[in-house]
Structure 1
């Protein structure tokens, strides 16, 4: 017995290709419309308090606004002689400052942007070549709302290689990806009047990336971050604070959490 398969002429092939194309376009339109509605439809008021509300044990999650240089309007005053702009710079700036009780520090202020690790490495090399080694700041002060996680890890590698210390000064905030730079210091000190906050790493949605590829990439990124923390002598368990806090919020770490995780080796007096 001979089976006969249906025959398709050129018209049939063209017609079905057109149908398939139209279906794909329709799916894309639906996905884009759903994404747009999800992003721009009115959202109900958040139950999470604003940064203006002081934190307390068990009440440490706050709404996160990366544009604000300080997390609270009533934040403690900055060290004498240091002034921060009303908004964070779009990328890290490097300024040498003198801080009472600490001495010369290199203040890194602003968002963490691609290329900042290379810029910092070049800057530090210039200080070493231009000044006596003892005059190059041994301590890096941090003031940042975060930014690129991979760039923060690269900056941390640069600072650890240079054997620098890190510090969060009174009235300054180190949020999102910034704590990974804090982790790089040989000594890591945080003022009780400073702020260290963590949340989930932000990943742009990609409508064209299959879900399993996106999950795979996220897991790889988390693995690299945990490996980095272990290399820096920090308990990777500190990531529990970031993994359980959505990107629109921030979890402010208490002094005991900073010390227990070794994200801080000492609190600044």
Structure 2
């Protein structure tokens, strides 16, 4: 016996209610996990130096697990933690190499611009060793590097993590030496005074869009930032030499276009 049209309508209505109910359950679960994640990150980061509120990335150092273990870096960075956690310093050495080392603190871009203004004609390459930090400053430094036709490098066992690859992307030629440690992860608020989950999500999305747009302008493959989006903010995704080449983060010495003035 075939069900009547009225019975079919009731069945269809029940199916719709079930689907909507399942959707709202999943939505509530996602919101709960977001709040839990934010609280866990806040607790884990509470002892770290605070940066300005979004858009910034906190200092993040690789776990001291053995190389080759799940989630571990290919090698341990050679610089001690106290060197990497200090505000970024700039030191011009022989060969026109400007060493940029330490956390990208708010104001690092201004100090970098002053260094370039004073010694720009001598600076041929910026060698990076940084666990990341302020996204605003990283983007500003990256743009200035590209405008001034400067190359970038991550030396052997140097670290370039979190927002540091944004600076790296600005180089007109980009190289990562053997055992360079280059990693990315999601953007999130680096200050101890944290916004609400809704504000944090909105800020993260806006900052993610700005970073993705900048990397596209630097001709970096979109797959690089996808790895960042897939990696929780308390972890790092370590890029292999093949991936850095694939996403054009490294150029094997080939120069890329420099934007025209104005």
Does the CA-based 8 Å contact 2:98-2:123 persist in structure 1?
yes
Look up the match of 2:141. 155
Look up the match of 1:109. 101
Look up the match of 1:62. 72
Look up the match of 1:236. 222
Deviation (angstroms), 1:127 = 1.0
Look up the match of 2:86. 90
Asked if 1:169 is matched to 2:155, the reply is yes
SS at match of 1:87: helix
CA distance in 2, matches of 1:104, 1:54: 33
Alignment CA distance shift 1:148-1:141 (3 Å):
same
Alignment of 1:5-20 (within 5 A): none
Alignment of 1:169-248 (within 5 A): 169-204=155-190, 209=196, 211=198, 213-248=199-234
Deviations 1:52-77 (A, max 9, x none): 4224xxx76238xxxxxx9617x5xx
CA distance in 2, matches of 1:71, 1:87: 17
* Aligned CA-pair RMSD: 3.2
SS at match of 1:189: strand
Bigger CA radius of gyration? 1
Deviation (angstroms), 1:252 = 1.1
* Higher relative contact order, chain-length normalized (CA < 8 Å, sep 6+): 2
**Larger fraction in helix:** 2
CA distance in 2, matches of 1:167, 1:94: 14
Alignment CA distance shift 1:51-1:152 (3 Å):
same
Does the CA-based 8 Å contact 1:62-1:249 persist in structure 2?
no
SS at match of 1:88: helix
Alignment CA distance shift 1:85-1:127 (3 Å):
farther
Q: What TM-score do you get using the length of structure 2 for normalisation?
A: 0.67
Does the CA-based 8 Å contact 1:60-1:252 persist in structure 2?
no
CA distance in 2, matches of 1:87, 1:170: 16
Deviation (angstroms), 1:207 = 6.5
Which structure 2 segments of 5+ residues have no match?
Answer: 1-34, 45-61, 254-262
CA distance in 1, matches of 2:173, 2:108: 22
Look up the match of 1:72. 76
CA distance in 1, matches of 2:234, 2:194: 21
Determine which of 233, 237, 243 is the counterpart of 1:257.
Answer: 243
Deviation (angstroms), 1:93 = 0.4
CA distance in 1, matches of 2:197, 2:164: 30
SS at match of 1:107: strand
Which structure 1 segments of 5+ residues have no match?
Answer: 1-30, 41-48, 64-69, 76-82
Q: What TM-score do you get using the length of structure 1 for normalisation?
A: 0.65
Deviation (angstroms), 1:257 = 0.4
